[in-house]
Amino acid sequence: MFVCDRGGTVSALAAVSGGQLWTFSAVGTVESSPTVADEAVFLGDNSGRVYALEVVSGERRWTVETGGSVESSPTVAGGAVYVGSDDGLVYALDTVTGETVWTFETDNPVRSSPTVADGTVFVGGTDGNLYALSAATGDLSWVLETGEQINSSPVVDKGTLYVGTGSGVEALAVPAEGSSEGSRARLGSLNHPSDWRYADQDISTDAGDGGNADGNGSDGGNVGDDGTSGSNGGNADDSGTDGGSTDDTDTGDGGDDSVDGDESTGGGDGFGPGFGVGATLAALGGLLLLRRRYADRNDQGEG
């Protein structure tokens, strides 16, 4: 779990115990939500910087300075980070190097978080325009003048784009097949299409009592799909247990329960507060996650 505060501190917390894994101090206040993709955490601050931090250690991968406060939450798709800035530009940055792939200029600050569907980036501006840009080049495909500031984040679901403006919500038929893709769709953050599911990214923290759990992962590692017991380090996509890396029901030994870096804190079984009941906490946390997941699916089915 990754959280930011107005003091500019970015914290990585163990999903089960809440123990602190690492912290990072941004230069300015962080108003945007962090995005996790491609083994990194992406975020912006009001000093105008966009950061990429290593998901395991919190070490800075790169920093890019824009010309204005970054309140837009980054979206990652196809190896690029798309984000708006108060300097009026929409940026496409390489996820690995931070190199600027392209920029697109609007007339006012861009605080909307972009969404990507079918090779097109959709983003709103405080100039009242909704922009459709080529994800590859940044070229303008079309623009819609709404007459109202757009600070909300658009989403595409099965060829229909939904966006909020100062006067309500607009639904537009757009020439895009499919739905929003990339980090925001996978993580279910900010907004998501109707068929979204919990993230199935393979992000390993190589540490106990941390990592990602989509099903009921316990004591570290990743659990994807309906995984039920990724435990004691390592990665598990279904029911891998006791460390190692598994994709279905295989088990392995020798998961690495340590994390490198001086920014990690916490005690007990690696990152927890030292309760000594990590397995029990992990099981309870997993059950809660499963209940939430099935409740979400039932709600979608009834809708």
Q: How many helices (H) and strands (E) does the chain have?
A: 2, 20
Q: Is 75 left (phi over 0), alpha (psi -120 to 50) or beta?
A: beta
pLDDT for residue 296: 60
- On the question of pLDDT at 224 being above 50, the answer is no
pTM, rounded to two decimals: 0.64
3-state secondary structure of 94: strand
pLDDT for residue 250: 42
Give the lowest-confidence range in 26-30, 112-116, 245-249, 282-286. 245-249
| Nearest CA among 152, 184, 156, 179 for reference residue 42 | 184
Domain 31-187 has CATH 2.40.128.630: yes
DSSP single-letter state for residue 198 = S
